[in-house]
Every structure is written in structure tokens, then in C-alpha cells.
Amino acid sequence: MKAREIRPGIEWMGAIDWERRLFDELIPLPEGTSYNAYLVRGSEKTVLIDTADPAKTDALFAQLADVEHIDYLIIQHVEQDHSGSAPLVLEKYPDAQVLASPKAVSMIEDHLGIPADRIRAVDDGETLSLGNWTLEFLHAPWVHWPETMLTYLREEKVLFTCDLFGSHLATDDLFSGDGSKVCEPAKRYYAEIMMPFAGLIKGHLKRLDNYAIEVIGPSHGPVHDQPQWILNAYHHWVNDEPKNLVVIPYTSMHDSTAIMVDYMIEALNDRGVHVHSFHMSKTDLGEYAIHLVDAATVVFGTPTVLVGPHPSIVLAAYLTAALRPKLKNAAVIGSYGWAGKAAEKTKALCETLKADWMQPVFTKGAPTKDVFSALDALADEIVTRHKGLESGD
């Protein structure tokens, strides 16, 4: 794809990756992704902001074919999907200097092999004149790594944000417009990449309230030409208050746990609680993560395997805790053949989850009347704990 003009003097570059289906060998990309770079031509200085994944260097270089000179390459974030083409860009432009946050300097040397004498650290709030335009650098740690920074083009009110406000979405739409096509991929992206850092993002959003922003250029997915919808969405997602929603990640080997999960779904529905269950041996982890953004309660459903939870629930529990959602309550239900500690071991995997754990419900073999009564009691407990929460659609 050719470079595309966002505004006079500001071009989108990079690559649309239509076919990529997995990121970090973990995160499903059902709609592909893009790696966005931005060329900003001031009256005196030209700047390239970020690059492209090494697999797509050719696409970036085709767009740079007629660009004779760049003064600066800004590396906002060192992860290779944005910085991976930087060494070759610097070979093409031997006079270009890398600008990055102080934390990024050693990371750029370590990850990309770029020598320190080509890199200049920029302070938080530091400005750079491009002649007619001014860039301001805003350190924004943990969106997505500790070295990340944003870049604000003052006169044009354009904010370049790298991973923040991005979406894994391959599309030939340059702009996200009113967000109707991009909101779901952006929420998935938030859930998978940004949610662990929600507390810090709150601070970044507060800071950005002081900036007039007409365009947001993230490094994945379309450019936000009507940025209010994505800013509003982020304010909502990082909000502490969850919804009246229970997520049930589960798996089942001989149906006992599946029968309990089905019963639990109905018991909660009958009591006015919205539920979404995920068969973890079959589900897309991103779908599960999206629902964690709003859920107030997680109920893990697991059979017992070698004394502990089923391995797919080990993964679910580990990811649930690692993503640090705003869950307030947690429980484990499931089954065992003769003995086991699946509930205790599942809870132990969620050490970092700030949730209040309810009494587990387990059945030896097929669930009995007493087990269903215990599930009813658990559903009642969840209803009490969810009182006053907004509907969880």
C-alpha cells in the first residue's frame, strides 16, 4: 500500500498485515493487524515516527523510496513490531538521529543493536522544532512497555500514540470515523494489551485532558480522525466499576463440570445476572479477554486432572490474573473422580487477582441434588454481591 496523506505534511506509512493470525504466539488476530509509521514533514526538519514489523520492511521501504532525507527517527516503543525496521531505516538515512525516552536507549541497543551514539534521549515534555511545527514528547510508561512515549504535534493537534488507542485490525480504511467498525477490535486490543496497566492509563488520560486533540495516530489499526469516541471508550474501560456480568471459563472431560456450568448459567439468568461462558479448549482467548473488561465475577469451571485444575483452566486462571481485570468476585466449581485440590490450586494461580473468593462447589462424579443446591446458593451470593451494578450486556 502507498503512503497516505492524513493532513498536508503528515503521511501514514507502514503495512497492513491482512494474514497475520497470532501475535506473540499467544494473542489471536482474527482480523489481522497493521504496523503504522508516520512521516511528518516540517518546513525545516523531517521526522519518521516508528517503523514497521521486520516482516514488512519492504512495504515501508517502498513508501520511503522518494523520501531523500529524514532528520530524526522517533522510536516511541521498542517492541519489534514498531521498531524492527529501524536498523535498516538508519542504514538508508545515515545522518538521521534516533529520538527516544531515556529508558528506551539501552533497550534500543539491546533489542535492535543500534549504537548509543545514534540515539538521543528526550525528556518528558521536551519539544523539538521542525520549523513551522513543534513536537512535544510525553513519556507514557507501560503503554505498552516501561519506555513508551507519545508524540504530540502541537500546531496540528495530532497525537501519535504507538500501542495506546490501537486496534488489531487489517482494513484499507485510513480513518476510524465514528468508531462503529473499530470499537470492538479496539476493545479486544485494550483487553489483551492495555488492561494490565489500567491504573497507569487513568493517569495518562488525565494528562491528555489538557491537550487539544483532533487526530490520534496509533501504530495498529486505523487513524482516529474523530478521536472522542476512543478517548471516551478508554475512560469507560479503565473505570473501576464492573457490570452485572459473570464470566465462566470452563472445560469438561466427562460432562460433570459442563452440567454444573449449564446449571449455573440458568441459575444466574433466572436471578437477573448476565453470563458469558467460554469453553477454554475451544474459545478464542481474545473473546474471553474482552468480556473480562466489564465482568464483576469470574467462576472457573474445571474437572480435576492429576490433583489440580485441567491445564486449559490453568491457562485461563493464569491469564485472568495477569490481565488484571476489575473483577471483584471469584469462585471455582467443578468435579473430581476420587480426590483433588483443583479449587485451591486454581485460586493459587490467581494470586495477583484482587477478588474476593466465594466458597467452591465440587462434585465427586456426577452432580447430585446437594451439588445443585450449592450452586443455587452460589448464584444467590453472586446476586447479593452484584446488587446495584449496571446491566452487563
Give min distance, CB of 107 to ligand FEO, in A: 12
Compare residues 81 and 156 and give the one whose CB is closer to ligand FEO. Answer: 81
328 binds ligand FEO (CB under 6 A): no
Closest approach, Cβ 23 to ligand FEO, in A, equals 8
Q: Which is nearer to ligand FEO, 59 or 327 (CB)?
A: 59
* Helix 198-208 with 228-237: angle, nearest 10 deg: 140
Supply the minimum distance, in Å, between the C-beta of residue 332 and ligand FEO.
32
Name which of 133 and 197 has its Cβ closer to ligand FEO: 197
Considering only the stretches 74-82, 95-103, 255-263, 327-335, report the one whose residues sit in contact with ligand FEO under the rule CB under 6 A: 74-82
Inter-helix orientation angle 256-270/369-386, to 10°: 40
State which residue, 139 or 220, has the beta carbon closest to ligand FEO.
220
What character string, x for contact with ligand FEO (CB under 6 A) and - otherwise, covers 111-150? ---------------------------------x------
- Alpha-carbon distance values, 73 to 85, 92, 320 (Å): 11, 12, 37
**Whose Cβ is closer to ligand FEO: residue 160's or residue 336's?**
160
Q: Does 77 bind ligand FEO (CB under 6 A)?
A: yes
Site string for ligand FEO, 197-226 (x = CB under 6 A): ----------------------xx------
Q: Which residues contact 103 (CB under 8 A, 6 or more apart)?
A: 141, 146, 147
Cell of 88: 535498516
User: 218, 174 in Cβ contact below 8 A?
Assistant: no
CB of 255 to ligand FEO, least distance (A): 41
Looking at 78-86, 94-102, 198-206, 223-231, which segment touches ligand FEO (CB under 6 A)?
A: 78-86
Q: Which is nearer to ligand FEO, 27 or 333 (CB)?
A: 27
User: Based on CB atoms, which residue is closest to ligand FEO, 45 or 77?
Assistant: 77
177 φ/ψ sector (left φ>0, alpha ψ -120 to 50, else beta): left
From the list 77-85, 180-188, 254-262, 327-335, the region that binds ligand FEO by CB under 6 A is: 77-85
Closer to ligand FEO by CB, 107 or 353: give it.
107
Contact between 53 and ligand FEO by CB under 6 A: the answer reads no
Q: What residues between 145 and 164 interact with ligand FEO by CB under 6 A?
A: 163
Q: Contacting ligand FEO (CB under 6 A), which of 81, 147, 156, 294?
A: 81
Asked whether position 79 contacts ligand FEO by CB under 6 A, the answer is yes
**For residues 77 and 188, which CB has a smaller minimum distance to ligand FEO in the complex?**
77
Q: What is the largest CA-CA distance in the chain?
A: 78
Number of other residues whose CB lies within 10 A of the CB of residue 211:
13
Count of residues interacting with ligand FEO (CB under 6 A): 8
Least spacing, CB of residue 198 vs ligand FEO, in Å? 16
347 binds ligand FEO (CB under 6 A): no
**Considering only residues 82, 224, 243, 347, which one is a binding residue for ligand FEO as defined by CB under 6 A?**
82
The nearer residue to ligand FEO, 148 or 302, going by C-beta atoms, is: 148
The binding site for ligand FEO (CB under 6 A) comprises 77, 79, 81-82, 144, 163, 219-220
